[in-house]
Amino acid sequence: MPKEILQKGFFGIGVYQSKREENIGTLWRSAYILGASFIFTIDKKYKRQASDVLKTWRHIPLYHYDTIDELYKALPYDSQLIGVEMGEESVDIQDFEHPIRAVYLLGAEDNGLPVHIIEKCHHLVKLQGTHSLNVAVAGSIILHDRAVKLEVDLPEFEYSNRVKGRG
């Protein structure tokens, strides 16, 4: 991992009860590109997809927890759990100050995060809008916002396996 990212702390992102495996794969790719240290799932396991062209599993780990309590016990030292949740108690993303050591948690698109999980979060943040976004899209927006606000130098990638003639 580049030194610049380590100087800006670390972060991970995950999903509670994801409905579709494709969302985890997309979020994993975004997390890798935007400098995340890890991703995770709670309650639903991920199955590898053939569409993973970046082979993200080689670069950042995916952890699985059966319950929120397992995740909470495994939170990295001095990190803060941030729930991504629509609601009046949540801070709008444009006003949110990202902690240096953060773990972001998204809920399923149809149900969000249950109250018992919200109560474990150190912060709640929301994206603008009146409808829930796709979980992978919402997670990608959160990660991009973090990278911009904390001025993280993103990792550089070599695309040596690209097909000739493609961008």
Give the model confidence (pLDDT) of 47-98 as tens digits: 555 555 556 666 788 999 999 999 999 999 999 999 999 988 999 999 999 9
What is the CATH code for 3-149?
A: 3.40.1280.10
State residue 47's pLDDT score. Answer: 59
Token pair of 113 as six digits: 């995060």
Quote the pTM value: 0.84
d(CA 143, CA 30): 8
Q: pLDDT-based confidence at 167, cuts 50/70/90?
A: very low
- For residue 3, pLDDT over 50 is answered with no
Closest CA to 125 of 147, 152, 106: 106
Report how far residue 68's alpha carbon sits from residue 8's, in angstroms, rounded to the nearest whole number: 26
Rounded distance between C-alpha atoms, residue 76 and residue 12, angstroms: 10
* Mean of pLDDT over the chain: 84
Q: What is the DSSP letter of 57?
A: G
Q: How many residues does the chain have?
A: 167
| Selected residue with higher pLDDT from 124 and 22 | 124
d(C-alpha 165, C-alpha 63), whole Å: 36
